[in-house]
Amino acid sequence: MSDDNNQDAMADDWAAALAAQTEASQPAAPAVASKPKASTANVFKPLSGDGTSVAKTDIDMILDIPVQLTAELGHTRITIKSLLQLAQGSVVELDGLAGEPMDVLINGYLIAQGEVVVVNDKFGIRLTDIITPSERIHKLNR
């Protein structure tokens, strides 16, 4: 019988613990709040005197985020058979023309066009046309 008493006591303990957990997980009844008095003063005030330092801090937070810059000379579409036949020295024809501006993409979005330059035996891109945000939105809507 003592085993039955111990099991009943443990069951009561578990029941009490579950009841306490259920009470804690249920939202409390909302307290009745009085309406704040209306005032003519601004409710929200800037954290700093002029507000510009907050904006500067916000932009500083994203300046070190890496992005992927891609320069595209052109595109083409080939079959898998042609792809498997490519070897060292193979030439793949692109739809871009020689001397035509190349596209500069940031994370896959066109942001500029430019031309290839060589500086100290390294290739670079001289930006010739920056795509404005309104132009980018217009291209996305097409």
10-residue mean pLDDT series, the chain (142 residues): 56 68 60 52 59 66 89 89 93 83 89 88 89 82 73
The total domain count for the chain is 1
Tell whether 132 is covered by a domain.
yes
Listed residue (76, 129, 132) closest to 104, CA to CA:
129
| Global pTM value | 0.49
Contact (CB, 8 A) for 125 and 117: yes
Tell whether 83 is covered by a domain.
yes
CA distance 116 to 103: 11
Contact (CB, 8 A) for 105 and 72: yes
Give the CATH number for residue 75: 2.30.330.10
Residues spanned by the domain of 123: 67-141
- pLDDT value of position 137: 80
- pLDDT value of position 93: 87
Contact (CB, 8 A) for 118 and 124: yes
Tell whether 18 is covered by a domain.
no
The pairing of beta strand 109-119 with beta strand 122-130? antiparallel
Contact (CB, 8 A) for 70 and 125: no
Tell whether 85 is covered by a domain.
yes
> How crowded is residue 45: how many other Cβ atoms within 10 Å of its Cβ?
8
> How crowded is residue 96: how many other Cβ atoms within 10 Å of its Cβ?
15
Listed residue (60, 91, 67, 66) closest to 78, CA to CA:
91
